[in-house]
C-alpha cells in the first residue's frame, strides 16, 4: 500500500485556484434492460463541486451502495476527468445513507449467471478491477470517508486510495469465502500487506472489523468520531491544495486516539500469527482446535465456526491468493484475481459461488451445499485450475501499466 510519504515524492503540482463544476452524469452510457448490473440512471454517483476539490457520493442507498458495472463506469469517467483537471486538487468519496458500500451487487451477478449471461459477468469484474487500478495508481490525492458498511468490493474501491477515514460506525469485512468465492477487488494485495498474518485471518474467516481496529491494523489511515465527520467534510470542502501532507494533516486534526474493547482482534495478533502462519488450511484448523481445547477459548471456537461455514475450496484458494499477493504488485494481483473470478462464475470447477449466493442472499436458507463438501475432497488440481485462464482464448485483464506505474 503506497504511503503518504511516497505519494508526496511523486505528486504532481497543479493550480487549484479556480472553480469548475463537473456534472455527475455519464451521458450516453446505455444499459440493456436484461442486465441487472447496468442502469440508465445518471444519479448513481452524485457530485459536489468545491473550490479546489470534488466529492463523489455513491448513490444506491437502498442497496447499501452495492456497486454495479454502471456505477463503477461513472466513477471511472469522473475520476479520469478530475485527474486531468488542474483545478481539482484532490477527490473525496463517500456513500449515501448508512453504508459506504456493502460490496459488489452479487445478487444481480447471480441472476446473470442463472440466465447464462457470463459475458456481462466478465464485464462487471473487468470494469471494477480496471477502476481499482486507476484509483491505486492515481497521483491525485484521494480521501475515502468509510462511514458505515465497507465490505468486499466497497473496500476494493477505497482502500487502494491514499487516505482512508474510518468512524465508529465503520464495519469492514471480506466475507467472500462464506459465499463460495475468493477475496477479490484487490483484497489479495492489501490484505497480504497487513502486519503478520492478519491478511490470512481476514481472508479465510470473513471476520468483521470496526473503525478503530481498521486504524490499528493499517486498513484506515485516520479515525474520526462520527460527530466530527461533518466538520471534517466542511474543512475538506474549503481546501485548495493538491499536497497530500496538507490534506492528511487536516484529516488528522479531526482524529482521535482509539481504545480497543478487551475482545478486540487487535489483542489477538500474537495468537493469529501463531495459527495462521501455518502452510495449509488443515494445519490452521488443527492449530485452532489445539488452542481451543487447551483453554476453552471462545475466540478460537468462534474462528473455527467461521472456517467450518466457509466453502472448503474457497478456503484453500483464498489462502494461496493471499500468499501469492504478498509478493506481487497491485496489477499482478488484479490480473490474477480476474482469472480467479472468471473461474468462479464459470462453474467449471465448482458451483460454490452460485450456491453460496443462493443460500445466503437469495433463498436465505443458509444451508449451502458446497462442492467439494469438505477439505479432504479438495484436490491440488482444483486449486491450481482456479489460478489459470478459462481457456487459451480468454483475454487477460488489460491494465495500463506502461502509462500508470504499478507499486508494491
Q: What angle do CA 234, 240, 245 make, to 5 degrees?
A: 90
Q: Which three cell numbers stand for residue 36?
A: 441487472
**Residue 213 annotated in active site:** no
Identified catalytic residue from 24, 104, 161, 344: 104
Q: Which three cell numbers stand for residue 347?
A: 462453474
**Residue 396 annotated in active site:** no
**Residue 352 annotated in active site:** no
**Residue 42 annotated in active site:** no
Distances (CA, A) of 221 to 21, 64, 167, 217: 29, 23, 11, 9
C-alpha span between 135 and 184 (Å, rounded): 16
Identified catalytic residue from 120, 184, 242, 331: 184
Tell which residue, 284, 150, 153, 154, has the closest CA to residue 213.
150
3-state secondary structure labels for all residues of 45-96: EEEEECCCEEEEEECCHHHCCCECHHHHHHHHHHHHHHHCCCCCCEEEEEEC
Identified catalytic residue from 153, 154, 156, 161: 153
Identified catalytic residue from 39, 120, 176, 233: 176
Q: Which three cell numbers stand for residue 390?
A: 478459462
Task: Name every residue whose Cβ is closer than 8 Å to that of residue 330 and which is 6 or more positions away in sequence.
Answer: 132, 133, 136, 137, 160, 186, 189, 406, 407
Neighbours of 195 (CB within 10 A): 12
Q: Which three cell numbers stand for residue 119?
A: 459475458
Neighbours of 278 (CB within 10 A): 17
Q: Exposed, middle or buried by CB within 10 Å (0-12, 13-18, 19+), for 313?
A: buried
- Active-site residues, by number, are 104, 153, 176, 184
Amino acid at each position: 500500500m503506497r504511503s503518504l510519504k511516497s505519494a508526496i515524492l511523486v505528486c504532481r503540482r497543479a493550480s487549484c485556484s479556480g472553480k469548475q463544476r463537473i456534472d455527475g452524469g455519464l451521458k450516453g452510457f446505455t444499459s440493456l434492460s436484461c442486465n441487472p448490473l447496468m442502469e440508465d440512471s445518471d444519479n448513481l454517483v452524485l457530485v459536489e463541486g468545491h473550490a479546489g476539490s470534488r466529492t463523489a457520493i455513491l448513490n444506491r442507498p437502498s442497496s447499501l451502495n452495492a456497486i454495479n458495472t454502471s456505477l463503477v463506469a461513472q466513477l471511472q469517467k469522473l475520476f479520469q476527468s478530475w485527474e486531468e483537471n488542474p483545478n481539482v486538487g484532490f477527490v473525496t468519496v463517500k456513500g449515501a445513507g448508512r453504508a459506504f458500500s456493502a460490496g459488489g451487487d452479487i445478487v444481480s451477478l447471480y441472476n446473470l449467471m442463472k440466465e447464462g449471461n457470463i459475458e456481462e459477468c466478465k464485464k462487471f469484474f473487468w470494469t471494477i478491477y480496471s477502476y481499482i487500478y486507476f484509483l491505486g495508481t492515481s497521483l491525485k490525492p484521494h480521501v475515502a470517508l468509510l462511514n458505515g458498511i465497507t465490505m468486499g468490493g466497497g473496500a476494493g474501491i477505497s482502500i487502494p486510495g491514499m487516505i482512508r477515514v474510518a468512524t465508529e460506525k465503520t464495519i469492514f469485512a471480506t466475507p467472500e469465502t462464506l459465499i463460495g468465492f475468493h477475496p477479490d477487488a484487490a483484497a489479495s494485495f492489501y490484505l497480504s500487506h497487513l502486519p503478520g498474518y492478519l491478511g490470512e485471518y481476514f481472508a479465510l474467516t470473513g471476520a468483521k472489523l470496526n473503525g478503530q481496529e481498521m486504524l490499528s491494523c493499517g486498513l484506515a489511515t485516520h479515525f474520526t468520531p462520527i460527530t466530527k465527520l461533518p466538520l471534517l467534510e466542511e474543512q475538506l470542502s474549503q481546501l485548495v491544495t493538491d499536497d497530500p501532507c496538507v490534506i492528511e494533516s487536516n484529516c488528522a486534526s479531526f482524529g482521535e486516539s482509539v481504545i480497543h474493547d478487551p475482545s478486540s482482534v487487535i489483542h489477538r495478533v500474537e495468537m493469529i500469527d501463531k495459527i495462521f502462519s501455518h502452510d495449509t488450511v488443515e494445519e490452521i484448523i488443527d492449530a485452532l482446535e489445539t488452542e481451543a481445547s487447551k483453554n476453552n477459548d471462545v475466540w478460537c471456537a468462534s474462528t473455527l465456526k467461521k472456517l467450518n461455514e466457509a466453502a472448503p475450496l474457497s478456503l484453500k484458494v483464498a489462502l494461496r491468493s493471499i500468499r501469492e499477493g504478498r509478493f506481487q504488485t497491485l496489477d499482478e494481483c488484479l490480473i490474477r484475481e480476474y482469472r480467479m473470478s472468471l473461474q468462479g462464475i464459470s462453474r467449471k470447477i465448482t458451483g460454490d459461488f452460485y450456491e453460496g449466493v443462493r443460500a445466503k442472499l437469495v433463498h436465505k436458507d443458509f444451508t449451502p451445499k458446497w462442492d467439494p463438501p469438505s477439505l479432504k475432497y479438495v484436490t491440488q488440481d482444483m486449486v491450481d485450475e482456479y489460478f489459470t485462464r478459462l481457456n487459451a482464448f480468454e483475454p487477460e485483464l488489460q491494465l495500463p501499466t506502461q502509462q500508470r506505474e504499478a507499486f508494491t
